[in-house]
Amino acid sequence: MAAKSHEEEHPNKAFGWAARDQSGVLSPFQFSRRVTGEKDVAFKVLFCGICHSDLHMAKNEWGISTYPLVPGHEIVGQVTEVGSKVEKFKVGDKVGTGGLVGSCHSCDSCSNNLENYCPEMILTYSAKYHDGTITYGGYSDIMVADEHFIVRIPDNLPLDAAAPLLCAGITVYSPLRSYGLDKRGMHVGVVGLGGLGHVAVKFAKAMGLKVTVISTSPSKKQEALGHLGADSFLVSHDQDGMQAAAGTMDGIIDTVSATHPISPLIGLLKTRGKLVLVGAPAKPLELPVFPLLLGGKIVGGSGGGGMKETQEMIDFAARNNITAGIEVISMDYVNTAMERLLKGDVRYRFVIDIGNTLKI
Ligand SMILES: [Zn+2]
Ligand SMILES: [Zn+2]
């Protein structure tokens, strides 16, 4: 059977912006979405955050990209249609989709609400769906997903500033919970003050933790303490400051995706403290074993979160008025935004106003 074109493989016309090759440059793209299945929710996309992984994927830096590639996995909007067996959502609801649109529903991870660790999880874009077609992300006008992978956005959360919670938010919320770093009064370090780090500070403060931001740039001190409400600030190359804070932290959420030494971070941990990596450096990090042995310390990782936990995270954010710091942009600004993101020139997340600015 000849492969159908992107425009014809499904019945419903869709429009978005796609990267066509490793240049990563995005341009308008006509494609199609599947018919809303009996367990599917279709929604009009209103906003979509720009995650660092969108940039990596658009340029095929992880070697798994399929072109044309429509990025975007911090997608929010309003439900336009639900399938006959959908139970949790109705037309008009505010909803969102994060990094996942499918999983096997039967493995150990799925049975424990950890779809994010399912070996057969299906990414929101540039992955093969159950029907064999390629998934497309949220830089587009409409979205269709199984209701299991749809999150309800509570009314008091502004949709634009809530969008980044669906990836950045759950990426830092999940390790705080699953590593038990969520007990009031605990002291947690947050390494890096970008898209992930700034939300980590907000969640940790809302959990009643003492929060220290650890950064390479002294210029972020005012931001960390004044704006985000962190309790203290450490410059990672300030040896005196790091020494003074040695052995004081119950845990550290490390959001840095550049290669960096973790030995100084391990030194900040208390006995049995936990260093959790959520950034993804391209090269392996050096793991100093002695400091781990001598303090009974743990180095772990965490990637995204399951659907139950993602809903819990959004509800927690709504109760505590937590949103991401954003810069809203128009669709045709996306290539410039990608260049600025590469330089770290954004506080803290770009969000595309899809609803008002995506024009055919
Ligand atoms: Zn992401
Ligand atoms: Zn599974």
Residue spans per domain, the chain:
12-166+326-357, 168-301
CATH 3.40.50.720 given to domain 168-301: yes
On the question of pLDDT at 302 being above 60, the answer is yes
What is the pLDDT averaged over residues 340-348? Answer: 92
Percent of the chain with pLDDT over 70: 99
For 283, residues 6+ apart whose C-beta sits below 8 A from its C-beta are: 259
Please provide the DSSP assignment of 184-219 as one string.
TT-EEEEE--SHHHHHHHHHHHHTT-EEEEEES-GG
Distance 74 CA to ligand 1 centre (A): 7
pTM: 0.96
Query: 12-166+326-357: CATH homologous superfamily?
Result: Medium-chain alcohol dehydrogenases, catalytic domain (3.90.180.10)
- pLDDT tens, residue by residue, 131-189: 999 999 999 999 999 999 999 999 999 999 999 999 999 999 999 999 999 999 999 99
Distance 108 CA to ligand 2 centre (A): 7
For the chain, the distance separating the N- and C-terminal CA atoms, rounded to the nearest angstrom, is 31
Cα-based distances in Å from 200 to 62, 177, 297: 25, 12, 21
Distance 102 CA to ligand 2 centre (A): 9
* pLDDT at site 3: 64
Give the number of whichever ligand sits closest to the CA of residue 278: 1
- pLDDT tens, residue by residue, 22-80: 999 999 999 999 999 999 999 999 999 999 999 999 999 999 999 999 999 999 999 99
Name the average pLDDT for the chain.
96
Distance 100 CA to ligand 2 centre (A): 12
Distance 352 CA to ligand 2 centre (A): 31
On the question of pLDDT at 292 being above 70, the answer is yes
Peptide bond preceding 119: is omega within 30 degrees of 0, i.e. cis? Answer: no
On the question of pLDDT at 312 being above 70, the answer is yes
Q: What share of the chain is helix, strand, coil (3-state, %, to 5)?
A: 30, 25, 45
Cβ 300 vs Cβ 275: under 8 Å: yes
- pLDDT tens, residue by residue, 217-260: 999 999 999 999 999 999 999 999 999 999 999 999 999 988 99
Give the number of whichever ligand sits closest to the CA of residue 116: 2
On the question of pLDDT at 6 being above 90, the answer is no
